[in-house]
Structure 1
Amino acid sequence: MQLAGSEHSFGGSRERFIAKVFNHLGGALLAFTALEVFFFTSGIANVILGALKFVPWMAILGAFMIVGWIATRAAHTAESLSSQYLALGAYILAEAVIFVPLLTLASKVAPGAIANAGLITVLATLGLVGVAYVSRKDFSFLGTILKWAGLVAIVLIICSAIFGFTLGIIFSVAMVGFAGAAILYDASEVIHHYPEDRYVGAALQLFASVALMFWYVLRIFISRD
């Protein structure tokens, strides 16, 4: 993704860094899509479903949040380029596996929901990245809010698993808002703060936020049907 006009506000090296981040994000999204297509066309998805069939849905939901947190940590701590690529590849694979039950459910109960949720997620991501870039505003203040909100979400997921209550559509809507704030924060960090040698790690963090939004947008579509 090329950001036109960035040379007027950033040096050439920063412009190249931003372009690399969003190019890697696009590559990660394509790799995730290709993996899901491979899983479902090859029959591997059925094997994954069989392995996860005795795992409570709330545990899968919790794993999704925890893997996202690990990805964020990896994005900040991986220093070498090879470590960043390894973390990105491992995260894409983990997300592809975790998404299989949700995608299977969506294809059965809400035909067309996957494509619609994907389109909404892409448009929302482009809009939020555009806001961060055009406004030039530093949204780093969202970092603390996101940490506490993420902790509250994990606690709610754990409590729902222990006490047996359901996290309904209101929770999903709130998590879409959380994911949107995370994308805005991540884009701002890419534009203003990320070290220029960590473009793969930056793409990993953005991918985690985009995947989170797609997950909960898709859950909303399923809840409506």
Structure 2
Amino acid sequence: MSEQYESYVGYQPVGALDATRRATFISRTYQHLLGAILAFTLIEVLLFRSGVAYPMAQAMLGTSWLLVLGGFMVAGWLFSGMADRAESRAMQYVALAGYVVAEAIIFVPLLVIADYTAPGAIQSAAVATLIGFGGLTAIAMFSGRDFHFLGAALKWAGMAALALIVCGVLFGFELGTFFSVGMIAVAGASILYNTSNVLNRYPEDRYVAASLSLFASVALMFWYVLRLFMSRR
């Protein structure tokens, strides 16, 4: 990620800024992350209370559950790349809004199934995800370590996961509990990596893009924590 910005004229990572400007950037990033989570939650509430979620879930599950999993991953890559390449803050907001809406739609069938088959799993998974995110964020912020080295491993893990999903679609096998556990570990590494970038590598004007990267990691963890909780009911 940071390599992409280094070619920009005047590029200066937040890690090189004074403490006040750095704190402002971090505060703005997490404010936008909170806004994205609240917007995602509001969209889901509206979809379920309006009754639209159920026919949406039926239509999406009429194709292949593994295709939904693939769509979840591709949406993250698409909108994160769009935000990182955006030349204006307005386009960063478009990418963030687009990603929140896309994730809210992609989550619908999973939430519908969880609501029917595992009552209470959604709330439990949400709490577990927030605790995990908070703990990993604290590690990244207070350990003093730079977790940028995780970037290459995350790229390979993402490609391997997508390959497994494609194989599942083609050959008709399910990705079970071990896949969910592995993806939770990937999500945890992604939180460490993206938090480290927020602290050290993003340009000062990219706090919207930074919040999108964190939201993507939170969404990934919530997805697979929820799948794990559902498998235990």
- Calculate the TM-score normalised by the size of structure 2: 0.91
Amino acid in the other structure paired with 2:88:
S
Q: Does 1:83 align with 2:91?
A: yes
Q: 1:119 deviation in Å?
A: 0.3
- Tell me whether 187-196 or 72-81 shows the greater mean CA deviation: 72-81
Q: Is 2:125 the counterpart of 1:153?
A: no
Match of 1:32 among 8, 28, 40: 40
**C-alpha distance in 1 between matches for 2:157 and 2:83:** 20
Coordinate RMSD, CA, aligned: 1.2
Shift of 1:100: 0.5
Which residue of structure 2 lines up, in the alignment, with residue 171 of structure 1? 179
Displacement of 1:77 in angstroms is 1.1
Match status 1:183 vs 2:194: no
Instruction: Tell me the equivalent position of 1:101.
Output: 109
Q: Compute the displacement of 1:10 (Å).
A: 5.0
Report the CA distance between 1:102 and its aligned residue.
Answer: 0.2
Equivalent residue of 1:140, what SS? helix
Alignment TM-score, normalising by the size of structure 1: 0.94
Q: Which residue pairs with 2:70 in the alignment?
A: 62
**Identity across aligned pairs (percent)?**
52
Q: Distance in 2 between matches of 1:178 and 1:75?
A: 21
Partner of 1:120: 128
CA contact (8 A) 1:125 1:180 kept: yes
Counterpart residue type for residue 177 of structure 2: I
Change in 2 beyond 3 A, CA 1:51/1:165: closer
Equivalent in the alignment of 2:152: 144
Question: In the TM superposition, what is the alpha-carbon distance from 1:71 to its structure 2 partner?
Answer: 2.5
User: Shift of residue 47 of structure 1?
Assistant: 3.4
Q: Does the 8 Å contact 2:184/2:225 carry over to 1?
A: yes
Say how many residue pairs are matched. Answer: 217
Q: Which residue of 2 aligns with 1:46?
A: 54
User: Which AA in structure 2 matches 1:185?
Assistant: Y
What are structure 1's unaligned runs of at least 5 residues?
Answer: 1-8
**Secondary structure at the counterpart of residue 167 of structure 1:** coil
Residue type of the partner of 2:199? I
Q: Does 1:221 align with 2:199?
A: no
- Give the Cα separation in 2 of the matches to 1:185 and 1:53: 33
Q: Is 1:13 the equivalent of 2:21? A: yes
Offset at residue 20 of structure 1 (A)? 0.4
Q: For 1:141, what is the secondary structure of its paired residue?
A: helix
Structure 2 spans left out of the alignment, 5+ residues:
1-16
